[in-house]
Structure 1
Amino acid sequence: MSDLQLWPIGNCQVSGLIDRTGALVWGCVPRVDGDPVFCSLLNDGNRDSGIWRFELDGQVSATQEYIRNTPILITRLEAEDGSAVEVLDFCPRYEGKGRMYRPVAFGRIVRPIAGNPRIKVVLRPMKNYGAQTVETTNGTNHVRYLVGQQGLRLSTDAPVGYVLENRTFRIEDDTHFFLGPDEPFVGNLREEIRRIEQSTRKYWQAWVRGLATPFEWQDEVIRCAITLKLCQHEETGAIVAALTTSIPEAPHSERNWDYRYCWIRDSYYTVQALNRLGALDVLEKYLAYLRNIVDSAKGGQIQPLYSVMGESELDETTAAYLAGYRGMGPVRVGNAAYKQVQHDCYGQIVLPTVQGFIDKRLLRIADDHDFESLEQVGEMAWKMHDQPDAGLWEFRTRQEVHTYSAVMSWAACDRLAGTAERLGKTERATLWRDRADAIRARIEKEAWVEGDNNGDSGHYKASFESDYLDASLLQMIDLRFLMPDDPRFQSTFAAIEKELRRGEHMLRYAAEDDFGAPETAFNVCTFWLIEALHLAGRSEEARGLFCTMLGHTTGSGMLSEDLDWETGELWGNFPQTYSLVGIINCAGLLSKPWSEVR
């Protein structure tokens, strides 16, 4: 079983990962890209620092489940003498006084449910990426942890002395813990925490109620949708690629990257998936984030990623005091990919943004000024469509003209043409249509490999310069560059399947990169394979592969970025938005329609 058996909690401000024993092993403050005060996950599983757990005396088992349609987690701990407790974990989130209450806070309630349980509270946050233990001060009913600029305060009705001294004590009634801002807790602790939890529960269940889910795999889709929403930093609308940093893509590969930032590409796929479910709130907030990014660029180059606050410089360093996931360092902070040139990002800004001009459900409908700003992004797509870049797989040591980037540039011009037509801007529509046609012609000339006399019907290649394949070519259908019945797509799909498929899984590419040959399958590419199989008329095979992938999910219903195609072990940052998007998209594609339900 994978060590990534983790359960995300969060409130779109902070998030945490709970392990299979109920311990909080990963959590950053004051936001997802902040200092991991809970960092046991990346400290070789150190159980004595960067952790918050409840140890049940004589514990023999732990079981976990979410409260239905929420990210509120219940962990049941049982002891050999039959005594048991439940730990309820959540991050507060609900609307009150005209705004969303989503503090930098973690709420935990421990309930005795059988026998005479005795527990020990181990709460040891760290600071500066595991470099130092956190100093404490305390009062009668609270403990202050001197971390960050503002500090954290634990308010509790448990005996504070027992908490500070790690003493085991008998728990005879519900016991409440609220680790939040360093300020006095207002109101009756027991009543307030229960009220906060109930309000949080109602918020999430109401949000889920508004989703347009497919008939089949509803539980899986709902869980993925909730988690994708947790990956949005609501203050700005940014969406992070994952909640973690530096979980390696393969054992000892040093393919360890910090994914706690907003990739324009990953976010495009995320809002696309949630939009298919009708989660417009995520789209609206992300469009606001994009407008700020476009304004800051002033018509110039867009970076592939930014911080959740829109910061452009994300210098990459290593955290020397963290050993890494299972000791497999380095632990990276920041991501040097922000310096890369990736031209697909222009299309990934245009595609979600054009919905703002036509979707009457949105609170803010885009106007002529927005179109003028978006045209600046289109200008960059046109200018750069045939220029070398690092590609969507972010090669660090080489640049080529990547076909996927060129197709994304085509999509940007194509969608701008369509939007201009709807807005009655005939001349602009003609301009963008001509540009889209020119890019298409260039792709057909430079990216197509003619077949031979040995049965090869020809195929598109991953870049204009090199004759290799990558799975992103399957996205030509989703981007509407090709139709599923186009012989060119069918022959390209056949070539990709032959070259990149490994049993029931798909590689990004098979060629060696900056770190050697890939050792694991890339989960979203397997979902692209499933989509292509369905569109090629192999729907039963697609359903089988989809069920196989669902069988690889964690107990929490999550997937990481990568998977060992031989052992099934999960690798890479967690939970990976790309992978959850794959579950949502494939479920929608493969599900029986509601109209057939009897």
Structure 2
Amino acid sequence: MTANLELAPIGNCQVSALVDEEGGFVWGCVPRVDGDPVFCSLLNGDEKDRGTWRFELEGQVNASQHYERNSAILKTRLEAEDGSAVEISDFAPRYETSGRMYRPVAFTRIVRPVAGAPRLKVVLAPMKNYGEQLAPTNNGTNHIRYLAGPQTLRLSTDAPVGYILEGRHYRVESDQHFFLGPDEPFVGNIRSEVRRMEANTAKYWQHWVRGLHIPLEWQEETIRAAISLKLCQHEETGAIVAALTTSIPEAANSQRNWDYRYCWIRDSYYTVQALNRLGALDVLEKYLAYLRNIVDQARGGQIQPLYSVMGAEELDEFEAEHLAGYRGMGPVRVGNAAYKQVQYDCYGQIVMPTAQAFFDQRLLRMADETDFAHLEEVGEAAWAKHDKPDAGLWEFRTRQEVHTYSAVMCWAACDRLANVAATLGKGDRVVFWKQRAEKIRATIEEKAWREDGEHYGASFENGYLDASLLQMVELRFLKPDDERFIKTFAAIERDLRRGDHMLRYAAEDDFGAPETAFNVCTFWLIEALGLVGRREEAREIFESMLSHTTHSGLLSEDLDYETGELWGNFPQTYSLVGIINCAGLLSKPWSEVR
């Protein structure tokens, strides 16, 4: 079967896996999201029996899949031509026990025979060192050990170990339980313990969802996007990754293959902003702790665009030579050289989520004057860099300009610092930061506005357009009825809109002209349409975008605007943020049904 992005994630905020439509694990890393992909068949070319974990039903003719309601527990039903069938329940355990969150480096599967006399083969073939070789095994009576490099995994099961090792089909006459986790003896009866894990994990997710403030319309879409965004957080540190994968190309054979398993300050800002709108403060609180460590680490110096989930600064980029790539379209990159870039929008994206901690009394830890002092150091950097060239939010690798979006984000940093100073009663700092924000605004108005085209340019030096200019309203730099915004929006539609989709920019970059629409930019288009009064058009395009989601209700980074095929890393946090934000903006109010 040709690799595709019809995938469903499971996870517990420590590890995650992507499961294909027939219940096969095709991507999953240990001991965390940026670790070695023990399941890597998604990027393994035609070698589908290496780097996978799947159940092959003899005579299979059909497969169907869904999530247990309001949870991250995935159910897959496999049916055979003789009428026999099994249901597979997949999850990573997550629930509170002994006063702490239990989220082991473990994947749990339950196979239940639900019709006839199904015959099944278990294919479990984890790899090591980015696809270099299959993990060597040894085994005991009820377990198999997989020596996956520095991380040894142990499969504990009540299924016949010999059949698994020999790859034989066998008759499944009762429920079978599989726990692939740390190399330590499984404590307790595996049947009862795994079922208890399943029940507790379902309860955790359903209670988490219960606390969300969701719109009246598009509830299922919003809930699924919210759960998937939470799965992108590495809870130990609070970091939020841009996606769970690496090197899914932005377009076929484009070489635009990047590793997104890291924490971009920009992407994380948008993620916590969207989840805040739903009331998911747990994600924000953990991320703010991560940010405080990043700011401390920088000591008033340069903030990088991205860091590892553990806060490591160096993410040297190399190619995994043993993996052929998605549909053979390499390279498969590990690490991301963008960490060396300067992207000055990050200062605003640190200040804005942190500012909430000075106002929101629901938080367990509100920010104080010491935090404000550290945040002012970030503001000083924003002021110093607001009119300096950078790589921009699209991370150009071969050129730098003074990007308008970066300048507006620096303005936002100073503007929000004035708000924080006001709530702390620091009148002199209110004046100080307001004056700086006003000076940055004046510079943007002077340098970014193009009289010849009657629109803002993407940079101070050039008048080309990019979709990030639509964010000037979201950031409160402009109001939606501002004449300059209306003119800029018209120009962006003219140059960047492709039917119901939006390019991020049309100008050639380091790899030539973009070939696919950037999904978050389409959501920015939808938001702008709604804000300028074209609400019905916005709703139509939103519904069109939802029609492109996978069967799991998710989106990747990019979309071929001619064929509708998804491309780019998956699931992409930016795109899921777009679903949440647009649903909230465009939904009918709850008052209509009360």
TM-score normalised according to structure 1 size: 0.99
Q: In structure 2, what is the Cα distance between the partners aligned to 1:504 and 1:483? A: 24
Preserved CA contact (<8 Å) 1:403 1:447: yes
Q: In structure 1, what is the Cα distance between the partners aligned to 2:295 and 2:5? A: 36
Mapping of residues 455-470 of structure 1, within 5 Å: 458-470=454-466
Q: In structure 2, what is the Cα distance between the partners aligned to 1:382 and 1:327? A: 46
Mapping of residues 330-479 of structure 1, within 5 Å: 330-451=331-452, 458-479=454-475
| Superposed displacement of residue 344, structure 1 | 0.2
| Superposed displacement of residue 149, structure 1 | 2.5
| Superposed displacement of residue 596, structure 1 | 1.3
Unaligned residue ranges in structure 2 (runs of 5+): none
| Superposed displacement of residue 8, structure 1 | 0.3
Q: In structure 2, what is the Cα distance between the partners aligned to 1:30 and 1:240? A: 15
Mapping of residues 114-129 of structure 1, within 5 Å: 114-129=115-130
| Superposed displacement of residue 45, structure 1 | 4.8
Q: In structure 1, what is the Cα distance between the partners aligned to 2:36 and 2:420? A: 42
Asked if residue 245 in structure 1 is aligned to residue 246 in structure 2, the reply is yes
Aligned to 2:552: 556
Residue type of the alignment partner of 2:585: L
Q: In structure 1, what is the Cα distance between the partners aligned to 2:44 and 2:497? A: 34
Residue type of the alignment partner of 1:274: L
Unaligned residue ranges in structure 1 (runs of 5+): none
| Superposed displacement of residue 369, structure 1 | 0.3
| Superposed displacement of residue 132, structure 1 | 1.2
Q: In structure 1, what is the Cα distance between the partners aligned to 2:397 and 2:485? A: 29
Aligned to 1:18: 19
Asked if residue 487 in structure 1 is aligned to residue 488 in structure 2, the reply is no
What are the Cα deviations for residues 112-155 of structure 1, in whole angstroms up to 9, with x where unaligned? 00011000000000000000111111000000111132410000
Mapping of residues 560-575 of structure 1, within 5 Å: 560-575=556-571
Partner of 1:354, secondary structure, is helix
Q: In structure 2, what is the Cα distance between the partners aligned to 1:171 and 1:194? A: 18
Change beyond 3 A, Cα 1:45–1:372: farther
Preserved CA contact (<8 Å) 1:24 1:52: yes
Q: In structure 2, what is the Cα distance between the partners aligned to 1:48 and 1:67? A: 28
Q: In structure 1, what is the Cα distance between the partners aligned to 2:197 and 2:188? A: 12
Aligned to 1:496: 492
**Following superposition, which runs of at least 4 residues in structure 1 exceed 2 angstroms of deviation?**
none
Residue type of the alignment partner of 2:156: S
RMSD: 0.8
Partner of 2:357, secondary structure, is helix
Preserved CA contact (<8 Å) 1:2 1:570: no
Mapping of residues 156-555 of structure 1, within 5 Å: 156-451=157-452, 458-555=454-551
Preserved CA contact (<8 Å) 1:45 1:325: no
What are the Cα deviations for residues 545-586 of structure 1, in whole angstroms up to 9, with x where unaligned? 000000000000000000000000000000000000000000
| 1:590 maps to which of 546, 565, 586 | 586
Partner of 1:75, secondary structure, is strand
Asked if residue 579 in structure 1 is aligned to residue 580 in structure 2, the reply is no
Q: In structure 1, what is the Cα distance between the partners aligned to 2:79 and 2:345? A: 51
Partner of 1:151, secondary structure, is strand
Preserved CA contact (<8 Å) 2:110 2:177: yes
Asked if residue 152 in structure 1 is aligned to residue 148 in structure 2, the reply is no
Q: In structure 2, what is the Cα distance between the partners aligned to 1:401 and 1:162? A: 62
Residue type of the alignment partner of 1:425: K
Change beyond 3 A, Cα 1:268–1:45: farther
Q: In structure 2, what is the Cα distance between the partners aligned to 1:149 and 1:507? A: 42
Q: In structure 2, what is the Cα distance between the partners aligned to 1:548 and 1:508? A: 18
Residue type of the alignment partner of 2:276: N
Preserved CA contact (<8 Å) 1:58 1:79: yes
Partner of 1:358, secondary structure, is coil
| Superposed displacement of residue 444, structure 1 | 0.3
Residue type of the alignment partner of 2:102: Y
| Superposed displacement of residue 58, structure 1 | 0.2
Pick which of 140-149 and 164-173 moved more.
140-149
Preserved CA contact (<8 Å) 2:247 2:257: yes
Preserved CA contact (<8 Å) 1:2 1:569: no
Partner of 1:357, secondary structure, is coil
Q: In structure 2, what is the Cα distance between the partners aligned to 1:323 and 1:470? A: 33
Pick which of 101-110 and 41-50 moved more.
41-50
| Superposed displacement of residue 432, structure 1 | 0.4
Q: In structure 1, what is the Cα distance between the partners aligned to 2:426 and 2:412? A: 18
Partner of 1:310, secondary structure, is coil
Partner of 2:93, secondary structure, is coil
Q: In structure 2, what is the Cα distance between the partners aligned to 1:107 and 1:580? A: 26
Partner of 1:320, secondary structure, is coil
What are the Cα deviations for residues 178-198 of structure 1, in whole angstroms up to 9, with x where unaligned? 000000000000000000110
What are the Cα deviations for residues 4-46 of structure 1, in whole angstroms up to 9, with x where unaligned? 0000000000000000111000000000000000000000152
Partner of 2:323, secondary structure, is coil
Q: In structure 1, what is the Cα distance between the partners aligned to 2:138 and 2:301? A: 50
Same amino acid, percent of matched pairs: 77
Preserved CA contact (<8 Å) 2:3 2:326: no
Q: In structure 2, what is the Cα distance between the partners aligned to 1:353 and 1:301? A: 18
| Superposed displacement of residue 2, structure 1 | 8.2
Preserved CA contact (<8 Å) 2:232 2:242: yes
Q: Count residues with an aligned counterpart.
A: 593
Aligned to 1:141: 142
Preserved CA contact (<8 Å) 2:67 2:73: yes
TM-score normalised according to structure 2 size: 0.99
Residue type of the alignment partner of 2:343: Q
| Superposed displacement of residue 207, structure 1 | 0.2
Partner of 1:581, secondary structure, is helix
Mapping of residues 66-81 of structure 1, within 5 Å: 66-81=67-82
What are the Cα deviations for residues 400-448 of structure 1, in whole angstroms up to 9, with x where unaligned? 0000000000000000001101100111111100000000000000000
Preserved CA contact (<8 Å) 2:27 2:42: yes
